[in-house]
Structures are given as C-alpha cells and as structure tokens.
Structure 1
C-alpha cells in the first residue's frame, strides 16, 4: 500500500497545496486523485501568481477578458473560479461519498480585505455564489478582523477554510467563531451542516527561530505547536458544547496542517507529513512534498490525543529563551507577516494580469488589423 493511501486509511486527508491550469489540462490532478489519494486542494494568491506568471495556459482567457473590457480583480476571480470549478468537479465524487466531509477546493478572498470585516463578509458570500460549487471553501484569515467575519459567513451558510492560524489560541478563537455561527443557525431553524476547516501553519515557526536556537532544537517548534493544538482540538471535539452541535446535526470543523513543505534543506523533505499523521485531520502539501512522500515517506505512529511530549519540547524552548510570552508574540508576528506576504503576492498578481491584458489585447488588435 502506498504511503499516501496509508495516511488516508488512518483518517488523514491529503490535499494538494497547488493549482495551475496545466495540472487540470494535462490530467495530473486527476492522476494524483486516482494514484496518490489526494482528496482536496487549496490555493492562495502566491500560488495563482506563479501559475499565471510562469505559463501561457491562461493567455487566451486573459485576452478574451481584456477585449471584453474587464480589469482589476474581476478577471482574476473569473480565471481562478474557472480552475477551481474544474477542481471541485474532480473532487465531487469524493465529496458525495464522504457526505461532504472531504473533496474540497479552496479560494481566498482578497488579502487586501484582511483588516476589513464587513467587506470580507460581502466578498466571501459573493464569491461562493459566483463559484456555484457546493464543495468550494472560501478562505478567510483567522485574525482580529477575520474572526467576526468567519462567524457571519458560517451563519450565512458559506463553507469556510480559516487560514493563517499559528497557535493553539488562534485555533480556539477560530473554532469558537465557527460554533457561534452554527449555534445562530440552529437558533433560527437553519441547517447546521456548514463545513469548515481550521488551518494551522507549521513550518514558518521553524524558519522564524532557526537562527536563534541550537541545532538540537531546530525544526521542532512547529511540530510541538501542532501537537499542543491537536490536543486542544481533540478536547474540543468531546466538549459538551461541541457534542450538542453534533447531536443537532452539525459537522465537526476539522483541523488542517498547512505550510508543511520542509524549508530547511538539511531536514528530511517529508518531515512534517511523517510527524503530523493524525486521524480526523487534513494535511495540505506542496506538489514537490507530495511526490517525495509518495516515493520515500513512511507512516509511523500517529499523534497522541493528549499532546504527547509537546509541553516538554516547549519547556526546552523556554529554557532557550523562547517562553510562552515569546511564543504568543511570535504567533502574532507570523500571522501579520502572512497577511503581508499574501497582500504582496496579490499586488504582484494584479500587476501581472494587468500587464498581460494590455499586451495580449494589443497583440490581438494588431493581428486583426494586419
């Protein structure tokens, strides 16, 4: 049995952290679904920026939109939704056979809305309606402005992938927003089955402190934070509040491991997949990491429900100067840096599309005149 199938059998969903039109056109995504147990997909502005900038797969569609007079964010969201509808359709059978638990694709609202609750709510509802696919998540950051937006969007019946979570506390805040949205739906007689995942970012922790700790502590902080958060997640799943929602017909919000591609060239390229095997979770991984894991990864013990040695590892970091206060400050910084990084990619993406629109439209008009 392939290692990817082993992860699937123990209850962890493997989602591809990538999308390009090439993956759809040449059948690669379909092959990953059939051969590597991939059951979902996530996207972000950085992924689309690279996909559109570094290929000509989108050029014909961009030319068409430019000639139709479309500009700004509109042509991008049309391009993204064209891809994500195809991906959603590829995952539809998985979605149906799992009762809506699995088989999802994800699209992020504009990162420029990260600190605007009202506009995030409006954008999320609009994008979900425009997508016209029930197995599409709308990604909303779990920051200060995002938390109330998540509650409102869940209440509106829109599935949400909560992104840019970096700590146990971030996760709990996102989970509580999800529960409030479901509780409000139940209070007014609405269907409580609105799906959500909460995405905890892992590898960025290790990148952030790599130069500040000894060799023995490198590449261990992200996993310890994940284990601590997994303990809180499993405790929440058995809490009276959550069980009341489940009994009323709601669906559990799953914990998702994000940023699980190894950044340290001296560390195993399958580090985070092997360390974070856990039932009732999702791991969204870059294409390179997926292929590496399929080739030489191993599935060993799964994460212990009680957090295992997470607190002991974190105590070692505290002795090295990275105490609880430092962890809280770093989590806040990483979340802010994540917002800034996606905004930068977004601006780059908009500039790329604007440039391509101008060039391709002019080329078309020149060819027409000749």
Structure 2
C-alpha cells in the first residue's frame, strides 16, 4: 500500500468516527433540537443588529445580546404566548364541558339527518370523538411544557451565538470543506430561506387572520377574536390553511339554521380570504425571497413531522439546502472534472499537431 493510499484510509476511518459520534450525539440531544433551530432562526434575523451595536456603537457584547433577547421576547414570544394561552383556556373549557358539546353535536347531527338524510356522527364516531376530547388536555399540557423547555434552551444557545458571532462565523468558513464562494452561496441560501419562512409565513397567516376577522365581524360570528386567533394559526398549515376554520364554521351555521350567514362565510372565505393568501404571498415574495410554492408545501409537511412547530421554518429550508448542496457539489467537483477533461483533450490535440508537424 502506497503512502497516499494509507493517508486516504486514515482519513476515511477518521471521518467514520466523526460521523458515528455525530449521529450518537444528535440522537441523544434530539429533544433539544427544536430549541437549537429556534436559536439559529433568531440569530440569522438579528445578527446585523448585533454587529451594528457591537462594532459601530461599541456596546459590550453581553449587553447587546441581552437587549436583542429581551426585544425578541417582547415582539415575538410574548404575543404568541398570549394567543396560545387564549387557545389553551378555550380547549380547557371545551374539555370540561365535553358532555354539553357532544349533546350539541348530536342535536346538530339529528337536524342535518332530518333535512338532508346524511348521518355524519354514528355511535362509533361519537365514542371516538369523546375519547379524543378526553385525551386532548394531557397532550396539550405536555406540548406546553415541551414548548417552554425549547424556549429556555433556545435563549441559552442564542446568547452564546450572539456573544461569539464573529468567531463562530469565521470558524464555519474555516472548517466547512468547500470553496469560499460555495460557503457564501450556502450561507446566503440559509439566510434567505430562514427570513422568508420566519417572517413570510407568519406575516401571511396574520394577514389572512385579519381578513377573516373582518368577515366574522360583518356576518356576526360569535367570539370573532377567538376565531381570528384560530384562523391565524391554521393559516400557517400547508394546503388546507384557513379553510380548516371557515369551511366547518360555514357548514355548522347552515346546519344550525343560520343559512345566509353560513353561505356568506363560505363565499367570503373562498373568495376573499383565499385570494388574499395568493395576493400577499406574491407581494411578499418580492420583498423577502421568492420561494417556490412546492418547496414550501412539501417542506412544511416534512418539517412539522420532524421538528414540531419550528418545522414551519426549517422544513422548507431542508429541501432548499438539498438543492443547494447539489449545486455546490456540481460547482466543487463536477466542474473540476470537466476542466480536467478539457485540459487533457487540449493537450492531446497539441500532441497530435506536433506529431503531424514532425512528419
């Protein structure tokens, strides 16, 4: 075995050891991964502000990081936690009054069956629904606890990322085994996708919620603010979106005898709320990054199943990173092979030309 082959074998063994340890650590620390992804998201959004405070205004790193963390909590997490608390209280009320809810559904089903002959809620379905409602509260409380844990981990990691921002980015440039232009491409793509999804998806969902709220107020829907919150959350879901709220609401109103209100909600939902989604998505795409809808839909489906709520941002990022890595591989290796082939062909032609000249 030659010296070069021996060194290559050592390199492969070393990489296998690194990969094994990396997989082992990721497996054991997977529960903290959503918090890490949240820290990366906030870091990408706030890094320019951090550099400006530290390098231009000459603030201490710890103070600048603390100010950014407090502002992110007040602007992002506090409103979201208030909305989640509102939903939690409603869910708790619905569970504590589940008997009344089931009686109302039975009456609604009987009326629908009498008018249209459709029997939606059989005895078996009602039993499944009752079991589901009974099991919702523990799951909801568990999800709340997991969210609080993820937020604590997120801010813990974010602090050190902000304080050591320059050193961290320089280390990434040094240790990522790619050419500088490909590292730049990778970083730019990550930045664009994170900003597009972290700002774009919630912004579009909030706009749809506001548009829906206007309709709820016009058509006299009870507790319009609560349904505005629910619509804003469901609007972030792929494919179905806000229709998960206004379609059942319209059907319920029609079945309850409020025919014109139900029809108006359905028409307003499909005609105005659905159109606002497409319109504002196109307008925001020019401002915060043009992401293909297929990447967003598939990415959200994959991301939510992998990472939970934060997967709304990082699911599309995974697909985009996969595409970018293919481009980088082409730039890093395939281009070199093509250049070598061109050089060899060029030298071969020169050799033949010299041989012909000698003859």
Structure 2 length normalisation: TM-score? 0.22
**Over alpha carbons, which structure has the higher Rg?**
2
Structure with bigger strand share is 1
Structure with bigger helix share is 2
Structure 1 length normalisation: TM-score? 0.22
Q: Which has the higher contact order (CA 8 A, sep 6+)?
A: 1
